[in-house]
A and B are shown apart, each in its own frame.
Chain A
Amino acid sequence: MELQTLTIVDARKMLDTGEVTAVELAEEYVAAAREMNTQLNAYLEIFEDVHEQAQKADEMIAAGNIFPMTGIPIAIKDNILIKGRVSSGASKILENYVATYDAYVIEKLKAEGAVFLGRTNMDEFAMGGSTENSAFGPTKNPHDIARIPGGSSGGSAAVVAAHMALASLGTDTGGSIRQPAALCGVVGFKPTYGAVSRFGTMAMGSSLDQIGPITKTVTDAELLFGTIRGHDSRDATSRPDAYFSESQQGKRIGVPRHFLKEGTDEDVLEAFNESLKKLEAHGYEIVDIELPNIQYALATYYIIMPAEVSTNLARYDGIRYGVHHDGETLLGDYMQTRGKGFGAEARRRILLGTFVLSSGYVDAYYRKATAVRNQLKKEFEKVFAGVDFIVTPTSPTPAFKIGEKVNDPVAMYAADIFTVPVNMTGVPALSVPMGTVVRDGSTLPIGIQFIAKHGADTALFAIGKDFEKMK
């Protein structure tokens, strides 16, 4: 079997016609995963019961009980709970934590008979853009193992790029699906805020987090999204299905040129301009747009996100579950557990969040950031009244070297510049490969980001599929 070119669509046909069994397919992937993982560290665990899961899928197929994901081998980011399995968020504080229930997306995938291959490496609690913040060592980029795969869903992107899974799930708070997908040369989709229930997924920035697919093709992303989406009363921000428009959009694309120049590598910008020309040649209309406050999105994000992190991560105290370290008193227990359990970036963001919410500073930081965010939302709404899509590069640079930015948090944060505004405003966005650039002799993939208005997730798949066909 050619795992290099296999898609969910192909696998579905082969499984349904009996050309391959789910067990055979799963075993090929497990073998590839085991072989590659020593080098890439993309999986934190490859599950032992993959064979049994695949057998169940084969029984479903034999009985004609077939869904889009029946027998499809996928990998799950380590912050999404699967009942009875370790789910650590790539953190020492949850190193041996066994999930007591299934996340909503896992319930959906189990009902369709998907096969879970393993849990993927990530930045601790999804905080980072390089997967270097994992408590269990960094993941390597399959295109150059001296480089980062992006993050925080770096493991989920690497396993798809290295053919160690047919598809995967990631989470995206400020670009954590799209940026690693771009840097690994695969497709990544961040749905509209509220499209996918976060029930059973470790919260990081609750007003920003979404779960989404990482796949080889846009069609595969659409299929996997189709399985995991849907209203769920256990996530209060989950939107009713009627909110999402299925109607096709127009072909008018807005480009915020004023925002793209600073910090974007020249060859990335060239590839982006080439992509725009292709879109134009295929009947899309390109117009310049102004988003006056978009330059402040990144700074705004690095106030709101840590504020939410500091409150969400307060639950990890070593009392009810997870790792426990003794102190002298109860407060000492908390301080020791959290001091030893959290990694450096988690500690940094919790302290930062604590500061921007503290008395005397909350107006200047958190409340001002919320005001800028509301302003950004208005600007996006205004732009979307005139265009169907906003397009940017997904990341201003290709994958950088492991260790290159670890000592400079602000430089590291700059990698999120084009992805963050999407989470700040809650709109959906899709990253699709747009070619390669060369760094130190390595050919590295880069991505283009398509953004649509709230609820227009389907329109992104249409333009993404069009773009994939343009040569």
Chain B
Amino acid sequence: MTDVDIAKLAQLARIAIDTEEQKELERDIPAILAFVEQIQAAGGEVTKETGDHYNIFREDGEPHAPGAYTDEMLASMPNEKDGYLRVRKIISQD
């Protein structure tokens, strides 16, 4: 079975997990990986491409009138002040 560092993965995924859940995931994730590993026997040539996906992009421009959604969006912010979204200071001294 593939060795998986659950604590590191949780950090990468930005999800806090407790020790009990970590133990469960240390059982579940390798079990799921053991199941999906059967694809190594399947056909298909591996390339760096992501496959043929189809996209149509619209022309650049104003998708809606400026400010049309501002009030509703401010109302849904967990921490808003005077029309601004408040976030934590991310620059520290050390």
- A interface residue numbers (CB < 8 A to B): 97-98, 100-101, 194, 207, 233-234, 236-240, 292-293, 296, 299-300, 302-303, 310, 314, 317-324, 327, 329-331, 333-336, 338-340, 342, 344, 347-348, 350-352, 354-355, 358, 363-365, 367-376, 409-410, 413
Cβ–Cβ contact B46 & A367, under 8 A? yes
Chain B, residues 27-48, CB within 8 Å of chain A (1/0): the string is 0110111011111111111111
Residues of A within 8 A of B16 (CB): 327, 335-336, 338-340
Residues of B within 8 A of A370 (CB): 46, 49-51
User: With A351-B9, A370-B51 as given contacts, are A296 and B39 in contact (CB-CB < 8 Å)?
Assistant: yes
Q: Which of A300, A317, A354 contacts B39 (CB 8 A)?
A: A300
> In this complex, what residue of B is CB-closest to A414?
B35
User: With A236-B57, A368-B39 as given contacts, are A324 and B78 in contact (CB-CB < 8 Å)?
Assistant: yes
Cβ–Cβ contact B36 & A299, under 8 A? yes
Residues of B within 8 A of A314 (CB): 14
User: With A348-B25, A354-B9, A367-B47 as given contacts, are A302 and B32 in contact (CB-CB < 8 Å)?
Assistant: yes
Q: Is the interface of B mostly helix, strand, loop or mixed?
A: loop
Cβ–Cβ contact B46 & A371, under 8 A? yes
Cβ–Cβ contact A333 & B88, under 8 A? yes
Cβ–Cβ contact B15 & A342, under 8 A? yes
User: With A317-B14, A355-B33 as given contacts, are A364 and B40 in contact (CB-CB < 8 Å)?
Assistant: yes
Number of interface residues of B (CB under 8 A): 55
User: With A237-B55, A372-B39 as given contacts, are A101 and B69 in contact (CB-CB < 8 Å)?
Assistant: yes
Residues of B within 8 A of A340 (CB): 16
CA distance A300 to B39 in the complex (A): 7
Q: Which of B15, B56, B75 contacts A238 (CB 8 A)?
A: B56
> In this complex, what residue of A is CB-closest to B41?
A296
CA distance A233 to B57 in the complex (A): 7
